[in-house]
Amino acid sequence: MGQRVAGKVAIVVGAGQVEGRTVGNGRAAALLLAREGAKVLAVDRDLTSAKETVRQIVADGGEAIAVRADVTCEQDIAAMTATCVQEWGQIDILHNNVGVGGLSAGDAPVSEIDAEAFTRIIAINLQGMALTCKHVIPVMRDRGGGAITNISSNAVLINYPNVGYKTAKAGVVALTEHIAITEAQFGIRANTILPGLMDTPMAIEQRVGRAGATREQVAAERNARVPLRNRQGTAWDVAQAALFLASDEAAFITGAALVVDGGQSLLTG
């Protein structure tokens, strides 16, 4: 247990995860913030998964509660925010880690994208983050400040093939910059993390079985695309970046887009 965010209250949106061998980005962030002293509201569309995150936090000696919310429903977001204030009286950290993409979301190149799929991807990946910020920021203003971290992707920077995910994640960067400059006067910081290839259940397990690929084959193909030691990152790499940005160590950092991708976005050719 550390003390880098001791006494703070954090909302982690997307704190659950799909089943898999490894930990997901949202769960890792929730666990790490709790280990460093924050009280955590673990929010997910899958309440059972959010409760599992809470169980692990409590087993580690931390404090957390689970809440179900769908970020495409503003009423859910308002209720989530109200629950946090009722429980702990404050919100100091907002960590937005919700996102969908790939074939399972219907994503495709711009010449092939279905309008309904594009709308859904934007609603989840971008609108959902805007609405959580809309409801949490007034609480942070009353508190005298806060830290918001929105998870984007290095898909913004690379030759990513599908238009929905890339466009939404680029919008997350712009949204965060807007919040950073408009809310600076209230002591609210906002930053973005752009993860690259991560060994998480959502990234790996959904690709297993395509063209007969095993998990090991999927991981090996992804590892080969990362310059730094030829290995993917883990959810803990993203969580450590999020912890830093949420802590007072980053007190003078706002509007930043922190790339956590092992150098993948630097590749050309």
CA distances, 121 to each of 41, 140, 190 (Å): 24, 28, 22
Distance CA 173, CA 28 (A): 22
Q: How much is the pLDDT for 210?
A: 72
Active site residues: 165
217: tokens are: 């084959």
Q: Which residues of the chain have pLDDT under 70?
A: 1, 209, 211, 269
Distance CA 33, CA 37 (A): 7
Residue spans of the domains in the chain: they are 9-203+234-256
Q: How much is the pLDDT for 211?
A: 67
- 202-206: list long-range contacts, CB under 8 Å, 24+ apart: 202/17, 202/18, 202/20, 202/24, 204/20, 204/21, 204/22, 205/18, 205/19, 205/20, 205/21, 206/18, 206/102, 206/104
Q: How much is the pLDDT for 186?
A: 98
The structure's pTM equals 0.95
Tell which CATH classification among 1.10.3720.10, 3.90.25.10, 3.40.309.10, 3.40.50.720 matches the domain 9-203+234-256. 3.40.50.720
Q: How much is the pLDDT for 212?
A: 76
- CB 98: neighbour CB atoms within 10 A? 23
